[in-house]
Amino acid sequence: MFDFLAAPLYIRISPFKLSVRNVKTGLSINEVPEIALSRGPNPRVLDIGDKAALHKSSKTAIVINPFAHPRSLVSDFSTGKRVLKAFVRQLGKRSRFRLAHRIVLHPQGEPAGGYTQVEIRALHDLARGIGASSVVVWQGPELTNEQILTRRYPTTGQLLE
């Protein structure tokens, strides 16, 4: 309903980098999409991004990159959701009255044969799972803040639905 008031986030995902940018504030994070989780029945987040690598030699933690798989961009859905949520939280604290973000998700790379319907659905569901008010999955050139704010995407790419 108040989607036009929601802070738009531009999220670019690859196995090597996860970039999250708040289009209105300009705040951004650009790090490796890894998460360090404690071992055990109820794993808790220890670190994300570049800091997660510090836990790789730890016996009490496991480091996962949920976007690193040879056949699919999303290899671990629930961990991918935790990574996205943690990156978005780093951009700023949520208040009780803040509206959910409008998310433009931009998978990086060109998989052989294109993205499957299952992969596109997984990307939509990832963004919805972190509380997005609306989700657009974009394939094409990098978008500018103006294109995201006006929702006028270049004809050299496509919206994946």
DSSP β-bridge partners for residue 11: 20, 105
Q: What domain range includes position 138?
A: 3-30+71-160
pLDDT over 60 at 73, yes or no? yes
150: its two tokens = 């006006």
Q: What is the pTM of this model?
A: 0.90
Specify if 88 maps to a domain.
yes
pLDDT over 60 at 128, yes or no? yes
CATH code for position 145? 3.30.420.40
Specify if 62 maps to a domain.
no
151/97: higher pLDDT: 151
Nearest to 161 by CA among 144, 141, 127: 127
Q: How far apart are CA 32 and CA 149, in angstroms?
A: 26
Residue 150: per-residue pLDDT: 94
pLDDT tens by residue, 19-34: 999 999 899 999 999 9
pLDDT confidence bin for 99, thresholds 50/70/90? low
Task: Give the rounded percent of residues in the chain with a pLDDT score beyond 70.
Answer: 91
Count of the separate structural domains present in the chain:
1
Residue 97: per-residue pLDDT: 46
Specify if 130 maps to a domain.
yes
Task: Give the rounded percent of residues in the chain with a pLDDT score beyond 90.
Answer: 78
Specify if 48 maps to a domain.
no
3-state SS assignment for residue 121: helix
Q: How far apart are CA 3 and CA 27, in angstroms?
A: 20
Specify if 38 maps to a domain.
no
